[in-house]
Structures are given as structure tokens and as C-alpha cells.
């Protein structure tokens, strides 16, 4: 991680609140850097006086945390029933071909991370793809390419 000074500032902000603020500190660090490297976890453990085993438990229990680098853009392709029957698998195939990654992976340039989800809550728009929290409905393979070009 390039900016350990920013990590220190975040940890220091939560240090006065005690060990009960570990999750909030980790969430803020991850928002800033998109993942939690081991050296950051060690620093959180030391500065907040929380055993490393507890930190490890937290970051492996909650799916919100990532222990591997994530891309600048998070792509979620819905594979729920409504999206699936309307061609969600074809959209996923197109995204995999365009990015060169499979669900659960991040590309080498750290541009995209890809996940499949069971529902994004907008079934009437299916198939749906979400990029950085922005919903793109009525997707087709060619449209997926158009959308992803906007995130280069």
C-alpha cells in the first residue's frame, strides 16, 4: 500500500474509541484502498490493541472485506432467475471475454473485479449489470461492452 500515512490517520481516528471500533476502522481503510494487506491488519492490531487472531476472524467472517487487491471498478452481473432467463449468462460471458477474468477475480491491471450476484433487486430491468454501484439494465453482450468502455 502506497499511502501508509493515510492508514495511520484512519487508525489514529479510531484509537481513542477503543477496540470496539475495529470494524469501522477496517471499513474506512478498505474504502480508501480497496483491500486490506497483511501489514495494514498488523498495524490495526497493534495500534488498536486487538489480537491479530481477532482481526483475522473479523476480515474473514464479513464478506465486505477483501484480503486481495480489488480493481478500481467492481462489476456485478446478476444471475438471479429473472436475469438468468433473459440472458444473464450471455452478459456474463461477454464481461468475462472483455475483461479476461472470471467471477471472483481481478484483472492484472487492477482495473476490474468481477462478481456474480443472485439478485440486485431490479428484476424488471433484467438482465442487470452493476458497475461501481450504478445499475445498467436490459443488458445484452454488445451493450456490456459499451458500458465497460466508460470505465476504462
Nearest in space to 121 (alpha carbons), one of 78, 62, 76? 78
For 65, the grid coordinates are 472485506
Decide if pLDDT at 19 tops 80. no
pLDDT in tens, 37-75: 999 999 999 988 899 999 999 998 987 888 888 889 999
Q: Looking at residue 147, what is its pLDDT? A: 95
Among 3.30.499.10, 2.60.40.10, 3.40.30.10, 3.40.50.1220, what is the CATH number of 73-149? 3.40.30.10
pLDDT at residue number 6: 85
Give the global pTM.
Answer: 0.75
Which among 30, 31, 137 is positioned nearest to 77, based on CA atoms? 137
- Looking at every residue in the chain, the average pLDDT score rounds to 90
141-149 vs 88-99: helix crossing angle, rounded to 10: 40
122 burial class (0-12, 13-18, 19+ CB within 10 angstroms)?
middle
User: Does the pLDDT at position 17 exceed 90?
Assistant: no
Cβ-based burial of 39 (10 A; exposed 0-12, middle 13-18, buried ≥19): exposed
- Specify the pairing of strand 112-117 against strand 134-136: unpaired
Q: Extract the C-alpha cell encoding 12.
A: 489514529
**What residue spans define the domains of the chain?**
4-61, 73-149
Q: Which three cell numbers stand for residue 39?
A: 501489514
pLDDT score for 13: 86
Give the pLDDT confidence score for residue 32 in this predicted structure: 83
pLDDT digits (tens, 9 = 90+) for 133-144: 999 999 999 999
Amino acid at each position: 500500500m502506497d499511502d501508509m500515512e493515510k492508514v495511520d490517520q484512519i487508525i489514529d481516528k479510531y484509537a481513542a474509541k477503543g477496540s470496539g471500533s475495529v470494524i469501522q476502522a477496517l471499513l474506512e481503510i478498505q474504502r480508501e484502498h480497496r483491500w486490506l494487506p497483511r501489514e495494514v491488519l498488523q498495524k490495526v492490531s497493534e495500534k488498536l490493541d486487538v489480537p491479530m487472531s481477532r482481526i483475522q476472524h473479523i476480515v474473514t467472517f464479513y464478506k465486505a472485506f477483501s484480503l486481495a487487491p480489488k480493481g478500481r471498478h467492481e462489476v456485478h452481473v446478476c444471475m438471479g432467475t429473472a436475469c438468468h432467463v433473459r440472458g444473464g449468462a450471455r452478459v456474463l460471458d461477454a464481461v468475462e471475454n472483455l475483461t479476461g477474468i472470471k467471477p471472483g477475480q481481478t484483472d492484472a491491471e487492477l482495473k476490474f473485479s468481477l462478481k456474480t450476484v443472485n439478485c440486485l433487486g431490479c428484476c424488471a430491468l433484467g438482465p442487470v449489470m452493476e458497475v461501481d454501484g450504478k445499475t445498467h439494465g436490459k443488458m445484452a453482450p454488445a451493450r456490456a461492452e459499451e458500458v465497460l468502455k466508460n470505465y476504462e
